[in-house]
A and B are shown apart, each in its own frame.
Chain A
């Protein structure tokens, strides 16, 4: 294995690795903090790499979706122009955020909706629980939503005696298995069909006992299971893909129809939305409704998109609440270098092309936002010291596929630089060794003869290599090999090879 994770230092773990988690179905359990759970990235990655089933599931899934995306993006002649527009619209949104949020609030209110503001997860959860209690509902149906994952809404509602039922197939699988999502779009991407059948048989009381692992049959079992809930639910909770400031229109993009069920049938709808999800005008949807489906599921258009504006008398929910969520977003906004992480439209294209994500999976990131976007967004949202900026090879594939052109590699480098500066003020052993090594390298490289001699030194390491790979160096080299393998150095340095070649001519 020679994936270079670029991890200069590891820190103490924050709990068990994903593999050591409880539950017979292999779920990792529901964490206290959805943005910060499990082992640190290097430890979690190591455990994940040893899980061959996980790597097979992920390899199949990501390669499938990569080729689907490439095909449908390839057929759009003005794709780059759409990306330019998408990026510029989001830049404009961030610059005018107060004005646009006020406009959204005004327009939603004018159409009979109620707007709430939540500074953090606890406040958002309190608002939602309060509305549900007021409706005297003990069960709510939910549309897949990253914002409600991020604030741990289901757990907060459970504490209030309210059962939140996830209705997206993958979210249902994750919920039944007491697991965490491992992908923004396909939260159960780490599970294969056999595992899903086992989860249904064990945890879904009305699953047919002769259920096979054919995807169509599994989907039909979920349909039957949720149908009654859709028809009887009093309250639904959703996120939002877009909110149009100048009309007050909300948009949810989905595939299965569970979204339409939740957004249409219950009497009360509560939508929890990050404050960055705005677009200024209805017209801007013509850009994002082209960019999102092709980047996300690799479809020309997703099966269903619902757009609603406040309350429509006689059609759909007659009570609508919109919860505008900060929860760290203003911290990200304050960071001029990292601000564009808020442009993300949660398509997950960057996860699917990332060589690191493909190998370690989503759980290793210890956040509901995994992959390249998670590696920049998570530490910025929490404001905590993090290993995640190092969970990248900086290959740049994420930037290339990002529909709103977020320069993820540059932000990663910036975040790494800050970590190093932070370490500079209170260096640990690894930091000191790293500094010494850099100093030594600088001395050796400053002089041709010194460099020639120094370059020959690593040849000695051939003695400890096995099958061309060195897995562990003695200290202080162990600091390097702790999270990476080292390729066996060549018998001959390039300079020696060149000199010999010149001699032979």
Chain B
């Protein structure tokens, strides 16, 4: 009896019969007539408005600020929780947290990770982002030092995500092209807070992931 790998591959070749093309050839031309670019450049006013609309539609809370006002905004959002502790990935700009008062700041990295139980005891997380897609209201984190390990943006109940306006593209293909540079990075695409529609298809926001998602859109 051959091993499973050999047998499955041979079953497939038999199933395809003579229609198996030479390796490396694309047997069917894939038509890509769909939009690969948006109507507006990344960060354009129209694109930002669209992102805000989409995010709010899925109950994320969006705040538009200047870089100078970001620390004050973060301090206010954490006070609102109220958060006595916050975790940040080690690569987050220190200045962001400059206005915090009475909040314990924990740092997390691949080299010095907090345990899941420790993260569960922390009230909020602040991360950066890699790219955002306006049309779908999506923010992508790719695990780089300013975005953190995947567990960090998952376990705390409040996620504050800082997105620069020049990171906002209009369409999904624009974001994919950017991410395609490093497809091996662990990615999390986030579109609003966690949600379920499993009970009579009624949407309920906030299940296992962070129940509150704040997006700080920084110009």
Contact = CB atoms under 8 A, between A and B. Distances in A.
Interface of A: 57, 60-61, 64-65, 68, 77-78, 81-82, 84-85, 88-89, 91-92, 94-99, 101-102, 111, 116-119, 123, 167-170, 173, 186, 188-189, 192-193, 196, 215-216, 218-219, 222-223, 226-227, 230-231, 244, 247-249, 255-258, 260-261, 263-265, 275, 280, 282-283, 285-287, 289-290, 293, 297, 299-310, 312-316, 324, 326, 330-331, 333-334
A223 B15 CA distance: 45
B165 interface: no
Contacts of A85: 30-34
Contact of B12 (A215, A247, A275, A290): A275
A419 to B, nearest CB: 22
14 contacts: A64-B200, A78-B34, A99-B24, A101-B9, A111-B184, A230-B116, A230-B208, A247-B184, A249-B184, A256-B198, A260-B188, A260-B209, A301-B138, A315-B149
A287 B5 CA distance: 30
Contacts of B113: 314
A88 B135 contact: no
Given A196-B199, A275-B12, A117 B4 contact: yes
Nearest to A244: B183
**By CB atoms of chain A within 10 A, which of B4, B27, B30, B179 has the most?**
B30
A61 B200 contact: yes
B191 interface: yes
Given A99-B24, A290-B34, 15 more contacts: A68-B201, A85-B30, A89-B30, A95-B27, A96-B20, A193-B199, A255-B196, A282-B176, A282-B179, A286-B175, A290-B136, A303-B195, A314-B110, A330-B11, A331-B15
Contacts of A289: 172, 176, 189
A216 to B, nearest CB: 5
B194 A304 contact: yes
Interface string B164-181: 000000001101110110
A300 B54 contact: yes
A189 B197 CA distance: 10
Give the one of B12, B109, B120, B176 with max A CB within 10 A: B12
Nearest to B4: A117
A297 B204 CA distance: 13
A392 to B, nearest CB: 24
A57 B189 contact: no
A291 B117 CA distance: 37
A264 B110 CA distance: 13
A223 B31 CA distance: 43
B48 to A, nearest CB: 17
A283 B190 CA distance: 19
A258 B34 contact: no
B118 to A, nearest CB: 10
B58 interface: yes
Contacts of B183: 244, 247, 249, 282, 307, 309
A256 B7 contact: no
B10 to A, nearest CB: 9
Nearest to B143: A315
Contact of A303 (B7, B179, B209): B209
Given A97-B12, A301-B191, A192 B200 contact: yes
A101 B202 CA distance: 39
B95 interface: no
B185 to A, nearest CB: 8
A173 B115 CA distance: 29
Given A97-B16, A316-B149, A260 B11 contact: no
A188 B34 CA distance: 35
A256 B199 contact: no
B150 A95 contact: no
Interface of A: prevailing SS: helix
B111 interface: yes
In order of increasing CB-CB distance, the 3 nearest A-B pairs are A257-B209, A314-B110, A257-B208
Nearest to B154: A260
B23 interface: yes
A363 B116 CA distance: 39
B21 interface: yes
A373 B173 CA distance: 28
B22 to A, nearest CB: 9
B111 to A, nearest CB: 7
B12 A98 contact: yes
B186 A316 contact: yes
A136 to B, nearest CB: 19
Contacts of B35: 77-78, 81
Contacts of A173: 198
Contacts of A219: 196, 199, 204, 206-207
Interface string B17-51: 00111011111111111111000000000000000
Contacts of A92: 26-28, 30
A314 B12 CA distance: 37
Contacts of A167: 208
B116 A306 contact: no
A303 B184 contact: no
Contact of B20 (A95, A193, A226): A95
A60 to B, nearest CB: 6
Contact of B199 (A91, A215, A303): A215
A287 B120 CA distance: 36
B107 interface: no
Contacts of B192: 303
Contacts of B190: 303-304
Given A223-B207, A265-B116, A316-B149, A275 B199 contact: no
Contacts of B31: 81, 84-85, 88
B187 A307 contact: yes
B161 to A, nearest CB: 13
B68 interface: no
Contact of B120 (A231, A263, A309): A231
A43 B188 CA distance: 45
Nearest to B193: A303
B150 A84 contact: no
Contacts of A306: 150, 186-189
B151 interface: yes
A304 B27 contact: no
A123 to B, nearest CB: 6
Contacts of B197: 186, 255, 297
B66 interface: no
